[in-house]
Amino acid sequence: MRAVLIVNPRSDNEFVMRARAAVDSGIDDPAALADHLRAWYPDVLVRPRELSSEPSVIWYVYRDGRWTPDRGEQGG
């Protein structure tokens, strides 16, 4: 089953495109996706969502190794 990606920040179109293209090309492991993206984004972090009753595979993909606000969002 191909992973659904929750990409952050979603406003970075190039980052979103690279992450989705990598999964579309067959990368099926969070560590492999992180290794692939690290060539462009050295701080990238990919974490699987691990809910036991989840019917799909979901990975969180953080460009900066942590949640980053999208352009236009204000931090608190």
pLDDT tens digit sequence for 39-68: 999 999 999 988 777 788 999 999 999 999
Q: Which long-range contacts (CB under 8 A, 24 or more apart) does 27-31 make?
A: 28/2, 28/3, 30/3, 30/59
Is 39 a member of any domain? yes
Q: And the tokens for 45?
A: 């972090």
Q: How many CA atoms lie within 13 A of 5 on its CB side?
A: 25
Question: Is residue 17 a part of any domain in this protein?
Answer: yes
Q: How confident is the model at residue 76 (pLDDT cuts 50, 70, 90)?
A: very low
Per the structure, how many domains does the chain have?
1
Both tokens assigned to 22: 């990598």
* Within-domain flag for 18: yes
Residue 75 lies in a domain: no
Q: Give the domain extent around 25.
A: 4-62
